[in-house]
Structure 1
Amino acid sequence: MLRLEHISKQFQSRCILGDVSLTLAKGDLLCMTGPSGIGKTTLLEIAAGIVRPDAGSRIIRFSHMACLLQDAPLLPWKTALENMDFILSARISGEKRYKNSLFWLEKMGLQEAAHKKPMEMSGGMQRRLAMAACFAGEPDLLLLDEPFAFLDALWQARIWEEIVAMNQKKGTAIFMVSHATEQLRDAGIRIVPLAASPLSIDI
């Protein structure tokens, strides 16, 4: 379970989050959408524990979380396979980590880029690499900031299929923010449109 209670956040003189409460349980699939600058990313980063709110509390009881940020934290001096190994090293050990890395690189169409560094890859390939690392870690909570960015329609559909499979087969809780919501259907997803700023919601 993830619970945010009466969260508020201000940057300089601008209030981004007014009074936000949110609960995410096992098996939930939630997407927030809305215009840029409304606070979606800030809320996701607070949920991930990356940004501290000015007020309110964050309670998390999930055992393992994976987070995809808009700027994927890939190490530029490591290859795709080495990035996977590094990201998964705290979660999976030895031979299983290597097999999981190869499996997800292939699933994300990156098998031929396994020994390329991020700067040798397109933006879409880097995005798929970051997604591969999230999926391979087998989290029970997955936080995704614009997971379809830099991807063409085919890869958007494939990534969505993997998100739904992880949610439905493993019960992974998904909290995502995205502008691309046209393909988000037939999966029991809850889409929450955001319009007012500062955000004040209770869901």
Structure 2
Amino acid sequence: MGGTSYNLFCIHCNQLICEVAKWKVNKKGKIAIPDIINVTTRDAEDAVNKDLLCYCGECIGEALQMKTCWKYFLNSAKITRSVIHNSDKMTDKQSSSSRKLTSNKETDKKSSLCDCNKSAEILEMKSRFENLEKQMNSMNEEYINKFKDMSKMLILYKLEITRLQEVIWSLHPEFDLNAAFTVDTSNISLALNNC
């Protein structure tokens, strides 16, 4: 009776990554594999290890440098698998090689489309950012102008209250109207000076 092995594919572009005899996911969601077939590498942030990249550009795992060799781990969330029975291995290898040829062509097309899409998305994001920045600046100016108008209106009200106080005092000198008509303008003058 034959054993079972697995083909591992990139979840984004269906590119065959490798074939493994065991499928075991560790606690970190990583799958240890003996070697890599269809990936490229780039230096990771720690400059000791390397990220494993599919040809579509997706980071699918990492290569860790040990004392004597490299160990490869794939992120289980970034790959899919298909089961291969050893009795069917020859037909599966033939189909995987034809699949590999077609998927390489598809990957080349997808990568060029991805680059176009990425540049279009970047341009769109830049224009959205510029529009938002313009809106924010116009809103700031609008709020500053409204604040100045409100401050002027409050000062005019204060002057009107003071004028009315003088009229009332001249007509009725016995009334103490200071407590009723006191308005604190210190904050308003400070705010106007800052504008």
The answer, yes or no, to whether TM exceeds 0.5 is no
**Structure with more contact order per residue of length (Cα contacts < 8 Å, sep ≥ 6):** 1
The TM-score with structure 2 as length reference comes to: 0.18
Answer 1 or 2: which has greater strand percent.
Answer: 1
The TM-score with structure 1 as length reference comes to: 0.18
| The structure with more radius of gyration | 2
Answer 1 or 2: which has greater helix percent.
Answer: 2
